[in-house]
Amino acid sequence: MIDKQHIIDRFIKYVTIDTESDPNNPEFPSTENQWNLAKVLEKELNQIGMQEVELDKNCYIMATLPSNLNYKVPTIGFVAHIDTSPDFTGANVKPQIIENYNGKDITLNKEKNIILSPDYFEDLLQYKGQTIITTDGTTLLGADDKGGVTEIVTAMEYLINHPEIKHGKIRICFTPDEEVGKGAHLFDVEKFAAKWAYTMDGSQIGELEYENFNAASAKVTITGKIVHPGYAKGKMINSILIANEYIAAVPENEVPEKTSGYEGFFHLHDLNGNVEKTVLEYIVRDHDFSLFEKRKELLQKIASDFNKRLHQDLVKVEIKNQYFNMKEKITPVMHIVDIVEEVMKDIDITPLIKPIRGGTDGSQLSYKGLPCPNIFAGGHNFHGRFEYIPAESMIKATEVIIGIAQKVSEKFK
């Protein structure tokens, strides 16, 4: 159905364009290099025959595949993001193609002895005999979410080239800056004009998600007092030591590396300081809204308790909500999830319906009035040197998009 080499070539073209986003830049997009892929996609969408192709001033690309039906069905959409994570470099990506994977260690970089091993990444064994695309061990790959971008473009191209496949109007959008939490901020839902949509931004084959974390960031600022250490008794206040106590007061088992499923966490991801000032950066996550609120309250209470004990207001916590669980917005329209589940089963994919332990543009879009569950893009080990994606998973994800278009045309006839 989908030509494997064609989808591999398209994916490699996209991932070799550096689109790393920048969490410290408030501009849209946060990096100029995201325009490079956006312009490639704008040209390619026009070439394959998409209509109403528009690249706006904020680096959002929208396009339309018109309906080929003689009756009206809901307009649906597909969304993916073009940026890659700033957690690990996405510059100078050199993909490697492993054909007919044998289930053994893959040497990513012989010189640096970087090995992708099924002994550690056991999911690899699901893909024996398949074609796996990896990094060279020095960068991330960018399957998050250029896998999704590849699949959407390929599906649209296939539908254009096969008009015998019936479908309603389809809208697509590629967003910038998803990896820094801004992907949906300037998304024009009214202009997109779809009844609902799907983000193609999940991981392994079969993933189907309509629940995600409630999320907040927390900045803990601890103020100390610098005094010459030889004369410091009773005068110096070492903010680093207070920060150490603060960290110890946060539940030690409620961290990402010790939680799974619906379990929430506190994640200390950055620490910077000296005697006079230390700043701790946390992210706070929980699927349950009441537990989410309690987590934020706990961070404030720890600060309040410290300030009372120290008889000074030395610890300050600033909390900002980032996004909320889209389950509240998807549950009333669960038929849009059911459609995907049916399509997956039709093409022999076992649906893996589970909560997202992270965020998605779909969450913010759902709260902006565009219900938007998340579907697998096929990659593994995102945001690092061990990232990989099977070509066969990209093909299956493309078939899911095509199947959804068909299923909607049948269900709403």
Residues with a catalytic annotation lie at 83, 178
d(CA 361, CA 353): 18
Residue 156 host element (H or E):
helix 143-161
Residue 281 tokens read as 């950066």
Report H helices in 52-142: none
Q: Is the dihedral of CA 353, 359, 365, 368 positive or negative?
A: positive
Q: How many CB atoms lie within 10 A of CB 43?
A: 11
Long-range contacts, 327-332 (Cβ 8 Å, 24+): 327/210, 327/211, 327/212, 327/287, 329/366, 329/367, 329/371, 330/210, 330/211, 330/366, 330/371, 330/373, 331/210
Place of tokens 């995201």: 34
Nearest to 85 by CA among 390, 401, 379: 379
3-class DSSP state of 152: helix
d(CA 167, CA 87): 39
- Name the amino acid, one letter, at 53: V
